[in-house]
A and B are shown apart, each in its own frame.
Chain A
Amino acid sequence: MKPLDLCAQSGGAGKPSFLRLEDIVKRFGGFTALRGIDLQVDEGEFICFLGPSGCGKSTLLRIIAGLETHTSGRLLESGRDISSMSAAERRFGILFQSYALFPNLNVYENVVYGLRGRKRRAELESRAVELLQLVDLSGTEKKFPAQLSGGEQQRVALARAIAPSPRLLLLDEPLSALDAKVRVHLRRQIRDLQRRLAVTTIMVTHDQEEALTMADRVVVMNRGTVEQVGTPTEIYYSPRTPFVANFVGKMNFMPATLRDETKLRVGGTGFSLPPPRDAPADRHTLDGDVLACVRPEHIRKVQSDGLQATVSHVEFLGSSWRIALDVPALAAGELFADFAGGAGFTPPVQAGERILIAIAPERIIVFPASAGAPVAGGASQGG
């Protein structure tokens, strides 16, 4: 796989990217759904638009599909402006949450719906066989959608979407209506299929786990803007805004002060941060009041040489335990730490227990305090 850009704009040297969005704005009456979106999508890439409901991700997808018209901005496909083209002219494959299979047509007729009139019957049939094999549904040609399970219906819809070999596949929350187990299975099937066909794909989802497991790059959106574009690991470990930090995974936020770019003071405790890895120019401006963030799994329990903490609450998560801690030295209210459960039936610590904890300075992420702390635990979903 090719190395991925840290930020969306930097892929522009040389060849034009497959899809390029320039300052896309969408207004519905007085409401601005998209506030100037810039994005580049490379050929063969799997992109996820991730964000809470109402962030504009579905609107953006529908604009790319040609089902909505943007208010201003440009949409370029391989350097060619397709802004004024209709969905029929763009012919991108689309998959909806509702499957949108035609209920009165059988599986075969659904799959070849977009091919009719363009191919002979024999060609159609062999193409349908091939497509149904691809989605693992051979032999269901004569069945009607209502006779299939939700997961099967969505695979038929997928076969229908890729039947005309679209160069771009758009998936609008395709897994949201499915059971958890089916969802995980289909997640992988879609991803495998996408790699095999090397078809550029954009998927909209509000499920961070889906985005992190499937995407080459994730576009985190909030209130009509792009908060961050990056690989799943970048999004998770180097969130660029408090919103991303809070929305993806669980995050502890602590008010702190920063001096000389590296000297961080949280409550009564000092941390010496390593020199910044990315965007070095930014760190100066950070000096002063900041928000220090750390993931629960980066708070470790230690035997000695740590900060005093009192366990206030213990919650079983299955593969680990989430511990609520009161740490006077950090003066940050309640902090959450994830401790491995091991094989035991008993929690690693008990409520009321006094323990020592440590946080590795390189795991601490710092945002300017003016960025505003999201409500603790508000939008995070624990994965």
Chain B
Amino acid sequence: MAMAQDVIAREPARPIVRIENVLRNGACVVLLAILAVLIVMPLYALLSQSLEDADKHFIGLGNFVRYADNPGLVQSVYNSLFVSIAVTAITVPLAFGYAYALTRSCIPAKAIFKGIALLPILAPSLLPAISLTYMFGNQGFMRGLLGGHSIHGPIGIIMAQVFHCFPFGVLIIGTALGISDGRLYEVAQTFSTPKWRVFWTITLPAVRYGLISACFVIFTTAIVDFGIAKVIGGSYNVLAIEIYKQIIGQQNFQMGAVIGVLLLLPALLTFFIERYVNKRQMSQLTARAVLYQPKPHRLFDATMLAFVVVVALCILGVNAVAVFASFFKLWPYDLSFSLDSYDFAAFDPGGWSSYWNSIIMASGAALFGTVLTFGGAYLVEKSPIPASLRGLLHILAMIPIAVPGIVLGLGYVFFFNDPANPLGFLYYTMTILVMCSIAHYYTIPHLTALTALKQVDKEFEAVSQSLGVPFWVTLRRVTIPISVPVILDVATYIFVNAMTTVAAVIFIYSPQNKLASIAVIAMEDTGDTGAACAMAMMILYTSVAVKVVQIGLSKLLFPKLQLWRHPDAS
């Protein structure tokens, strides 16, 4: 009978199933081990360092007590809080107005304005700081506007932070405004409710979670930032600078660890509030909601346009100053065109090699980071691995978002610089820079890949199993091909962020593999502001180019390769 033949034909299936399980569980264990080295061990090293004295004896909270007794150190806490609160108070209303204009008015060229708002994400956070120094610094052409105050100090930090944090605010609040249910407004219209009442009773309640989320994200971004304060802070002490001083200046590792732990607190708090808020916000948009479509309203649209144009001009202006500063001898005093600023070797021993190091580092982080995050998300979402492993993988992937770059970098110092660590040979290599960048930016790519994979029919795996096709065939032939856009997205995200980061790598770079963002700080330190601008602009140009390539690939190339997405086109 046919049945008997089938049974015989089926026997070889058994080893394949075993190989599948071994491979899946093996991959899971390997990934867990990698994440342990990348994330858990450095953080553990940091925490234990903060509870030990210089001779590695456990002293409980002794370091924290010493910290609280030092008025200089405590002052840096107040300074950090003051700066971050001010940044939040200024940025959130600005971002709300901008996002409101983009989602609720009929202003023209929304895509361009949105692009301008997000531009600062592609630049290193240092860029606005350098531009502001250039404009308002001791030789700045706009110094008079500050009325005698120095830009080096809280004013500069706050101004630069506002530029740096603005895009995050626009993104978060814009999302919240974008998912409001249009039917509520139609109902309000049928009752001829006054506009201000609609705003108070419908608009604000709908975006309150977005606003809370934006406040916390901006506050945390501001309080943990290192680069801006380093460039423009002058002698004004904030926590991130204090870590740097304790470690680099005084070699006081314990005190550096204590400040690192303190900086973990706001980030952790933000992480949990974000999670809570996200759950609430998502539940607002039911499947039956109708998206709000703004209607033209001349006066309102004109006001909104004016506001958006002013903000956009400020953002462009700050970037333009850096461009001009890099291309002219001494803009705006000496307008002779010159590429001298791009001759980095004249200002910094690293020269152009810093830039290429950054490219290598960002490419490595993008390549391996994409493989790790996508692979991890695949294991979490699509594999029948034990629930405990799945949960552990997910939690480890979520940790980095709550760890500021400077804290992670410090953890890397403690962990890899420990003579007892067999992985110590990695210290001061390009590899450790790649590792730290991947770890620092792990969470968002993981979540992005997870979301994309969740949208892939979960029965694909079931079908493949029942057809006797091993999982790697379906991964290669189906799952990866249909995930190409999200893979590109993830790779771009990691690349751009790795290019711009300062905080995560400031402690672990070596003179041989100095990075572009570090060179910016160094050249700024020595007063070569034009060259610092040029290097910062190189980072921005590169990020913009990579982003453009990514958009081009997904928009132009893939419709051809992936005919199946657009059935009507064929």
Contact = CB atoms under 8 A, between A and B. Distances in A.
Contact of B462 (A65, A90, A145, A146): A65
B478 A86 contact: no
A265 interface: no
B465 A86 contact: yes
Interface in B366-389: none
Contacts of A94: 462-463, 466
A160 B463 CA distance: 9
Interface string A92-111: 11101010101111100000
Interface string A19-59: 00000000000000000000000000000000000000000
A65 B466 CA distance: 7
A102 B460 contact: yes
B187 interface: no
A86 B19 CA distance: 13
Interface in A121-170: 144-147, 160-161, 163-167, 170
Contact of B465 (A87, A104, A106): A87
Contacts of B2: 165
Nearest to B478: A102
Contact of B17 (A86, A144, A163): A86
A87 B471 CA distance: 12
A102 B477 contact: yes
A165 B1 CA distance: 13
For chain B, the bracket of interface size reads 20 to 34
Contacts of B562: 104
B287 interface: no
Contacts of B3: 78, 167
A104 B482 contact: yes
A67 B16 CA distance: 17
B457 A100 contact: yes
Interface centre among B3, B13, B465, B478 (most CB of A within 10 A): B465
Given A86-B465, A96-B459, A104-B481, A146 B13 contact: no
A87 B466 contact: yes
A289 B566 CA distance: 65
Contact of A88 (B468, B481, B563, B565): B468
Given A87-B466, A96-B462, A113-B467, A147 B570 contact: yes
A105 B477 contact: yes
Contacts of B477: 102, 105
Contacts of B13: 88-89, 91
A67 B468 CA distance: 12
B465 A160 contact: no
A89 B562 CA distance: 33
Interface in A298-337: none
Nearest to B11: A89
A232 interface: no
Contacts of A116: 469, 473
Contacts of B457: 98, 100
B570 A91 contact: no
Interface in B531-557: none
Given A67-B462, A89-B14, A102-B478, A114 B564 contact: no
A145 B467 contact: no
Nearest to B474: A102
Report whether over half of chain A's contact residues are helix, strand or loop; otherwise say mixed: loop
A145 B463 CA distance: 16
Interface in B468-508: 468-470, 473-474, 477-478, 481-482
A94 B14 CA distance: 20
A134 to B, nearest CB: 17
Contacts of A165: 2, 6
A87 B469 contact: no
A66 interface: yes
Contacts of A90: 466
A88 B473 CA distance: 13
B466 A146 contact: no
A91 B564 contact: no
Nearest to B484: A104
Given A100-B460, A102-B478, A104-B478, A145 B466 contact: no
Contact of A144 (B463, B469, B473, B563): B563
B288 interface: no
B463 A88 contact: no
Interface in B387-429: none
A179 B313 CA distance: 54
A65 B13 CA distance: 15
B478 A91 contact: no
Contact of B482 (A65, A88, A103): A103
A146 B17 contact: no
Given A103-B564, A104-B478, A104-B562, A167 B6 contact: yes
A90 B462 CA distance: 12
B468 A144 contact: no
B108 interface: no
B13 to A, nearest CB: 5
Nearest to B21: A86
A98 B462 CA distance: 12
B197 interface: no
Contacts of A164: 467-468
A90 B468 CA distance: 8
Contact of B467 (A96, A146, A160): A160
Given A94-B463, A114-B468, A88 B16 contact: yes
A101 to B, nearest CB: 9
Contacts of A78: 3
Nearest to B16: A88
Nearest to A142: B570
B109 to A, nearest CB: 33
Contact of B463 (A96, A103, A147, A166): A96
Contact of A114 (B459, B467, B482): B467
B469 A113 contact: yes
Contacts of B478: 102, 104-105
B469 A114 contact: yes
Interface in B312-330: none
B249 interface: no
Contacts of A144: 563-564, 567, 570
A374 B512 CA distance: 80
Contact of A66 (B6, B16, B465, B481): B465
B195 interface: no
A102 B482 CA distance: 9
A161 to B, nearest CB: 8
Nearest to A164: B467
Contacts of A100: 457, 459-460, 462-463
Nearest to A97: B459
Interface string B29-46: 000000000000000000
Interface in A310-366: none
Given A65-B462, A104-B481, A164-B467, A89 B565 contact: no
Interface string B273-303: 0000000000000000000000000000000
Interface string B85-102: 000000000000000000
Contacts of A170: 466
Interface in B78-124: none
A153 B562 CA distance: 19
A161 B464 CA distance: 10
A103 B20 CA distance: 24
A81 to B, nearest CB: 14
B57 interface: no
Contacts of A167: 3, 6
Contacts of A146: 564-565, 567
Given A91-B466, A165-B6, 13 more contacts: A65-B462, A66-B466, A87-B466, A89-B13, A93-B466, A94-B466, A96-B459, A104-B481, A105-B477, A105-B564, A113-B464, A146-B565, A167-B3
8 contacts: A87-B466, A89-B13, A96-B459, A102-B474, A113-B467, A114-B468, A116-B469, A144-B563
List the 10 closest pairs (A to B, CB-CB), nearest first.
Answer: A114-B467, A100-B459, A87-B465, A144-B564, A146-B567, A147-B567, A94-B466, A96-B459, A102-B478, A104-B481
